[in-house]
Structure 1
Amino acid sequence: MPMLIPGTKMHIVTFSFIMLEFCMFIWQMARYFYRLRDKHRGWYILLLLLLLLYNITNGFFPDPNIPLPVKTQNIIAYGMAFLMVSYFPFYFYKEFDLTALRNHVLYGVPIFLILPYIIFFVIMYSINGELKRDMGYGVILPFAYSLVLLWIVLSAIRKRYQQNRDDHFYAEEISVYFAVLPWVPMTLFAWLEVGQVVETLCANLGFLIITIIFFIKSARRAMQEYLEENAITIGETNPYQFQANCLHFDLTRTEILIIQYIYKGKSNKEIADLMSISENTVKKHLQNVYRKVNVKSRAALIYTLQNHHSTML
């Protein structure tokens, strides 16, 4: 017996994702209006909104009890699915700076994803009312194109992260791969009629991975802005290079401040007094810094942060 919301065809799994994403949408909108120049958050909010609308239409439609023609409900439901799938390439193009996707975003997606939907799911279905047959023809080109696009996206991601293949960016790269994969079978699922729960899990699990990556990258961008605005560096070290290294090793603001005091020759006790924290706390921060930078002494730490060549992704 499927667990449905009373009076609807919506599964409890779909409803749970809708509630979660609605709360996230309100939260992210508040943060966006607080800081309008954050275009990355804007792209993420649009993705969140499309996914929210997809879950709602996927959960409610088609339902003969709703005062809307079933044919119209199907057109809207499949339209939201195609619209969400079509937005993914644009999101990855913008958020991860994958320039190889530009022509696909401008030309490929409209021709191979949106156009088949208009022809088969809107025009043909409106004329003959044979959803199953029109769906069978309508998903062939989009599914084939999604496989091509998957290869292009993965290749672009691999190239994007190539220069940092041996460091912690590798984990982020793998996460992006897993975020892309659930998107591919979405068009095929419509034809296979796999069920609401499978479609919901496929669409939303990929989104959850994207969300984690978004938060990690947002924290990194916030740290980068802090470093740049305050011209953070040590000695005569190039500020850009020092800041790139701090981001590369995931150093926190407190750890960076301690490093600046170390460069000035301060002892742990002196640093503790200057920062109004205990000496043991300073030692713990220093141990974390040594672990992140993979060094065992203050001299090695300073040398690495001054001479390691990192880039800001």
Structure 2
Amino acid sequence: MEAGMFIFQFFYYQFRPQDKSRLWYLLLLALLLFYNITGGLFPDDKITLISIPTQMMIAYGSGFLMASYFPFYFYKAFDLKALRWHALYGVPFFLMAPYLLFFVIVYAINGNLNIKLGVVIPFIYSLVLLWVILKAIRNHYKEDKNHKNAIEEIAVYCAVSPWTAMTVFSWFQVSQLVEVLCTNFGFITITIIFILKAIRNTRQEYEAFIAIKTNGNIQEGFSAENFLTYGLTKREIEIVGFIHRGSKNKVIADSLNISEGTVKKHIENIFNKTGATSRVELLHKLYFK
């Protein structure tokens, strides 16, 4: 099921490479596939091409990789800048470094896999990550008056929290069935959220198309097809109209009854989708060609 979902999302991404959130989701799927395959196959003494110690390193490594990706996923997919340090520096130091030390180096030297010692620091840090991510989401929730993105972030947060229990599972040596059910339940939740988001975005694109074609919300000279090609939402199209009139962020925020932070976020999303680096370049990309 996960492989089928990955293939479908991969080809869909090829049609809309500007949708970076789908790219981060693809990486999430790839890591989950790697985790489930290696966790299901290893260790197995019938697999003679790979030694048992190496199989153990790979199996535990896939779990550490999966858990390490979540802060980066929140940082990139939801633009939670407060997580930048943890995504780029904290995770390598407090999650991957203990794995390399205890599950690779020490294990390779003396053949003794001390799981309990190896998961102490990652477990403590995973609790820190849960608090930091929750705090970042809460702050974003306060900034986003519509609360749509923040609610989605909270839902994803609840979905990935079971991965914090990975270190607890390792400590108490729980069965693989319990471990897989717990962690994959989070994935299923994320998938449902992602599908609902895709449906919502498609509806927004249709509403935007109707607004462009019938209501004349966009000034003459713009291409409706360009808006749809770049996947701009109705709100983003409204903001483009304000940009075209030379409005400042505060004017846009007051007119749409949203915060300046939300306006900046919308403009950043518009730049990411279109590949523009300035307002002038953005308007040029959206004109008829």
Q: TM-score, normalised by structure 2?
A: 0.70
1:1-313 correspondence to structure 2 within 5 Å: 20-67=1-48, 68-131=50-113, 134-164=114-144, 171-224=151-204, 232=212, 234=215, 243-244=234-235, 309-310=257-258
Number of equivalenced pairs: 231
Q: Distance in 2 between matches of 1:183 and 1:74?
A: 19
Aligned to 1:6: none
Question: Retained in 1: the 8 A contact 2:20–2:77?
Answer: no
What CA deviation, in whole Å up to 9, does each residue of 1:134-168 have, x standing for no partner? 21111000110000010000111111122457866
Question: Following TM superposition, by how much is the alpha carbon of 1:225 offset from its aligned partner in structure 2, in angstroms?
Answer: 5.1
Question: Retained in 1: the 8 A contact 2:78–2:153?
Answer: no
Query: Identity, % of aligned pairs?
Result: 53
Instruction: Letter of the 2:4 partner, please give it.
Output: C
RMSD over equivalenced CA pairs, Å: 3.1
* Cα distance change on mapping 1:37 and 1:166 into 2, 3 Å: closer
Question: Following TM superposition, by how much is the alpha carbon of 1:177 offset from its aligned partner in structure 2, in angstroms?
Answer: 3.1
Aligned to 1:258: none
Q: TM-score, normalised by structure 1?
A: 0.65
Moved more, 31-40 or 48-57: 31-40
Q: Distance in 2 between matches of 1:99 and 1:225?
A: 27
Moved more, 225-234 or 101-110: 225-234
What CA deviation, in whole Å up to 9, does each residue of 1:5-41 have, x standing for no partner? xxxxxxxxxxxxxxx1011011111111222222211
Instruction: Letter of the 1:33 partner, please give it.
Output: Q
Question: Following TM superposition, by how much is the alpha carbon of 1:92 offset from its aligned partner in structure 2, in angstroms?
Answer: 1.0
Question: Following TM superposition, by how much is the alpha carbon of 1:69 offset from its aligned partner in structure 2, in angstroms?
Answer: 1.3
Question: Retained in 2: the 8 A contact 1:245–1:309?
Answer: no
* Cα distance change on mapping 1:60 and 1:183 into 2, 3 Å: same
What runs of 5+ residues in structure 2 fail to find an aligned partner?
Answer: 220-232, 239-254, 270-289
